[in-house]
Chain A
Amino acid sequence: MSLPPTPAQTIGPFYGTALPFAGGADVAPAGHPEAVTVHGYVHDGEGAPVPDALLEFWQAAPDGSAAGSPGSLRRDGARFTGFARVPTAGDGHYALRTLSPGGAPYLALCLFARGLPRHLFTRVYFRLPDGDPLLAGLPPERRATLLAVPEPGGHRSYRFDVRLRGDADHAETVFLAFPAGS
C-alpha cells in the first residue's frame, strides 16, 4: 500500500433521493421458481427499530460465479446481477428476493445508517458449513447471529435480523473487518 485511503463518513439521513432504486430488492429474476425471500428487522441496542438503514447485499450466482453482471440499477427483470440495495422501512424491516448462492453459502452484507461514522460489514449464511474459518472461530451464540433462519411453511423464506448493539439478553450481530494479507 502506498496511498492512504480516503476515510469513510456517515451516510446521514438524506440519502433517500440518491441511493435507493426501483427493484433494488429484486435480485431474483421475475417469477423465478427458485426465488427465496430473506427478510428481517434492524434494531439498535435499545431494541428500537432502525428506520433509516440501507443494506447492500452481494453474492455469488447459483452456479458459484461471483463475476456479477451490470443492470442492477435499471433491472431488466431477467438477468441475475448479484447485487441488492434495500432501505429499511419505518419499522426497521427490510426484505429481498434472491436466489441461493452457489459455492460460498452466504450473502455479503454492507450496512449503512445515520449515526454510523463508518459502514458495517457482515455475512448472511443460509447454512452453517463445517470448516468455515469465520464460523469456526466464533462461540455458538455469536455464530447464530450470522445464520438466516428458514421460516416454517413451503414458501422459501428466511429470517435474518441485525442487532447493531447487544446487551445481556440480545446477541450483537457479528461484524467483520478485513485485515492485511487477505
Chain B
Amino acid sequence: MAAPEPIREREPERARGRQAPSAAGGAAPPYLGPVERRPRRPPVPLRLAPGAVELSGPVFGPADVGPLDCDLTRQHTGEPLGERITVSGRVLDGWGRPVRGQLVELWQANAAGRYVHRLDRHRAPLDPNFTGTGRCLTDDEGHYRFTTIRPGAYPWAHHRNAWRPSHLHFSLFGTAFTQRLVTQMYFPDDPLLPYDAVWNAIADTTARRRLIAAYDPGLNEPDESLGYRWDIVLDGPDATWAEEGR
C-alpha cells in the first residue's frame, strides 16, 4: 500500500490558479473530475435481452445488516457531538413502485466536517463516538430510515475557498444491477449549495434539486432528533446516457 497522501477530493493540477466564485454569487463551475479519469468515448448503448445478467442484482438480507446498523449515534459507548437528525424516505423505481428489501448504505463526515479516514487531514477534530457509516434495508413500502448527526461543512481543494456543503453520501441497490446508484443528499437552505461544484456537476437545475432533503417535523423524534425526508428514485434499464446531466 502506498504511503498516505494528504488529499481532500482534490484535483491538484486543475485546482491551481482556479479562482473562487465571485462574492457576488457566481455559481461554482461544475465538477467534472480530473480529465485523465474521464472516458473519451461515449458509453456503448446496449439493449438488454431478457435474462441478461444486469437485469437482476445482488440480494441482501438480515444476515447482512444488523438492526442497529441504521443508528449512527449508537455505535460507540458515548454520545456523538452534533445536531441529531433522522433521515428517512422511500426508494422507488421510475414507475413509482417501492423498491423493497434493498440495501441502503450511508457515510458522512462528523459534526465538525471530518471523516474517519486516513486521507482526511482537515484540521477539525475527530469524534471518538462517531464513525459515520450505516446500513439498512428498505421495508415493504420502500422506506429507509437512519438516525445520525448532521455533518459539518469542510474545505476542499477544488479552488481556493471551496467548501463542501453539509451532505450525506448514499449508496443504493435496486432490483437490477443497472439501478446501482451512489449519490449525495443535501440539506435545505444551505448557503453553501450554490457555490458547490459537486452539486453543480448536475447540469439540470431541476434534477439538482432532487438531491435536497426537506425538513419534515413529522419525522422528528421528540426530544431526540430533527427529521429530514428524502425520497430516492432509481433508474430502470430505461436510463440512457443522453439523459445524463439530470
Contact = CB atoms under 8 A, between A and B. Distances in A.
B238 A14 contact: no
Interface in A20-55: 44-46, 48, 50-51
B76 to A, nearest CB: 14
A1 B238 contact: yes
Nearest to A117: B201
Contacts of B1: 89-90
Given A9-B201, A44-B36, A165-B37, A178 B106 contact: no
B44 A19 contact: no
B182 A112 contact: yes
A71 B177 contact: no
B78 interface: no
Contact of A115 (B11, B177, B207): B11
A51 B3 CA distance: 11
Contact of B40 (A74, A120, A165): A165
Contact of A83 (B58, B208, B236): B58
Q: Identify whether the interface residues of A are mostly helix, strand, loop, or mixed.
A: loop
Interface residues of A, number: 79
Contacts of A66: 51, 53, 55-56
Nearest to B234: A5
A18 B169 contact: yes
A44 B37 contact: yes
Nearest to B92: A3
Nearest to A70: B61
B169 A71 contact: no
Nearest to B107: A18
B234 to A, nearest CB: 6
B133 A17 contact: yes
B46 A175 contact: no
A166 interface: yes
A108 interface: yes
A6 B115 contact: no
Contacts of B210: 4, 6-7
A10 B39 contact: no
Given A5-B233, A58-B57, A73-B65, A138 B37 contact: no
14 contacts: A1-B238, A6-B232, A8-B183, A9-B198, A17-B117, A45-B35, A103-B51, A104-B53, A110-B177, A116-B37, A119-B182, A134-B46, A177-B42, A178-B45
Interface of B: 1-2, 7-9, 11, 31-49, 51-65, 92-96, 103, 105-107, 109, 115-120, 131-133, 135, 169, 171, 177-178, 180-184, 198, 201-202, 206-208, 210-211, 232-241, 244, 246
